[in-house]
Amino acid sequence: MGVIDNAAVVVEDGRIAWVGEAAQAPDADSSTDLDHRAVLPGFVESHSHLIFAGDRSHDFAARMEGTKYSAGGIRYTIEQTRAASPEQLENNARKLLDEYARSGSTTVEIKTGYGQSAESELTGIQVASSCSDEATLLAAHVAPPEYADKHDEYVQMVVDRMIPECAPHAKWIDVFCEKGAFTEDESRTVLKAGMEHGLIPRVHGNQLTYGAGVQLAVELGAASVDHVVYLSDADVDALANSSTVATVLPGADFSTRNDYPNARRLIDAGATVALGADCNPGTSFTTSIPFCIALAVRDLHMSPDEAVWAATAGGAAALQRTDIGSLTVGARANFIVLDAPNHLHLAYRPGVDLISGVWRDGASLYERRSA
C-alpha cells in the first residue's frame, strides 16, 4: 500500500510531481493544509453499465421477497433503452458519472449492452465514448426479443455489422458468457471478432453458475473477467497464472442475493483482484465504491488494504492503465480526500459519506461544502 504518515503531495500540470513526508516537501507556489485527513488515489471503476433508460426497482423488491435473478431481466431495459433518445441516454449517464465522482471515482469504464441492435448499440457506444475514455462494446449481453430463438443469427449480425460499425468508438469488447445469455462458443466468436477490429477483450463470467467464462478470458488474454463468483480450482489456477485480472462486483451479489465471490481464495492463489461497483439498473444500482469496499472487507474476506488496493490499483490493472490508480510521481493527480485519518475508515464506517474532496488531473472535481 505504501501508506505515508504526515505526508504531502505536490501537483504540477495535472500530474503528481512529488510525494513523501511533509517535512521534506519542496516549495510550492501554493499549498493547502488538509489537517491530517487521508489522501488516496481516486477509485478506478472498471465495470459499469451507464447507457440505459428506465427503472427496475420492482425487480429488486421482488428479489428481496424471494424471486430469483435471471439474465432475462435485461430485456426490459433493452426495450426502455431503445425507446430513449441519445440525449436522454447521455443525461442519465452523466448524472450517474456525477454520483460516481462524488463518491470518489475519478475513472469510470462504461459499457453499452442495453441496445442489442446495430443501431442502438452504435448510439450507445457513441454516448459512452463521449463520456469516458474507457468505452466498452457489450455486443452480446442477452439476445434481444426478436432474436431470442435465433442466437446464431444474432451473433452473425454482431460480427458482420455491430462490431465493424461500433469498433471505432470503443476500446473494449465484452460479452456475457453465462447460462441464459451466451455460450462459450458464441462468446469466443464475438470476442475474436472484436479483437480483429482492434478491441481488447473483457468478459462477464461465472456470475450465476459455474461456466466457461474464466477459461475463455484466460485463453484470449482478456484484460479482466468480471463477477467470478462460481470458480473451480482450475479456474482459480488459470487466473493465478495469467495476466487476466479477476474483478469482483459485490454490489451485484448484494442486490441479487447471490453468493459472494471468494476473493480470499483468489488473492491467496496469486491472482490480481480488482473491485468495482458495476452500476446498472438490474443487478447493482449503486455508484458507491466505498459501499463495495465495505462489502469486500466484510463478506469477501479482503483486508481493508486489499479492498482499497483492488478499487484503485486493481481497477487500473483491469483497464491496463499505468497513469491512474496510485499516487506515484508521474501519475495523474487523481485523488480523494477522506474525512478520516486513514483508509481503514472506508470499511470501518460503512454507509457514511467520508469523501470530502475529489480531484482529477490536478483540478477540483468535487468539494463538500462545509457546514
Instruction: Please tell me whether residue 304 binds ligand NIG under the rule CB under 6 A.
Output: no
Backbone dihedral angles phi then psi of residue 191, each to the nearest 5 degrees: -65, -40
The region, left, alpha or beta by phi > 0 then psi within -120 to 50, assigned to residue 204 is: beta
Min dist CB 176 to ligand NIG, Å, is 5
* 21 vs 2: CA distance, rounded Å: 12
Site track for ligand NIG across 277-296, x = CB under 6 A = -x-xxxxx------------
DSSP state of 280: B
Q: Which of 43, 176, 309, 366 binds ligand NIG (CB under 6 A)?
A: 176
Site track for ligand NIG across 206-225, x = CB under 6 A = -x------------------
Q: Considering only 10-18, 276-284, 346-354, 355-363, which stretch makes contact with ligand NIG by CB under 6 A? A: 276-284
Cβ-based neighbour number of residue 321 at 10 Å: 18
Q: Burial, 120: exposed, middle or buried (Cβ in 10 Å; 0-12, 13-18, 19+)?
A: buried
Site track for ligand NIG across 39-68, x = CB under 6 A = ----------x-------------------
Task: Judge contact between 225 and 246, C-beta under 8 A.
Answer: yes
Q: Which of 74, 175, 231, 273 binds ligand NIG (CB under 6 A)?
A: 74
Q: Of the two residues 207 and 288, which places its CB atom closer to ligand NIG in the complex?
A: 207
Residue 68: C-alpha distances to residues 59, 60, 62, 212, 258 (Å): 10, 10, 9, 22, 9
DSSP state of 146: G
Q: Considering only 9-17, 72-80, 240-248, 299-307, which stretch makes contact with ligand NIG by CB under 6 A? A: 72-80
- Nearest Cα neighbor of 247 from 268, 225, 218, 271 is 225
Min dist CB 166 to ligand NIG, Å, is 18
Q: Of the two residues 207 and 334, which places its CB atom closer to ligand NIG in the complex?
A: 207
Q: Of the two residues 73 and 314, which places its CB atom closer to ligand NIG in the complex?
A: 73
Binding region for ligand NIG (CB under 6 A): 49, 73-74, 77, 176, 204, 207, 252, 278, 280-284
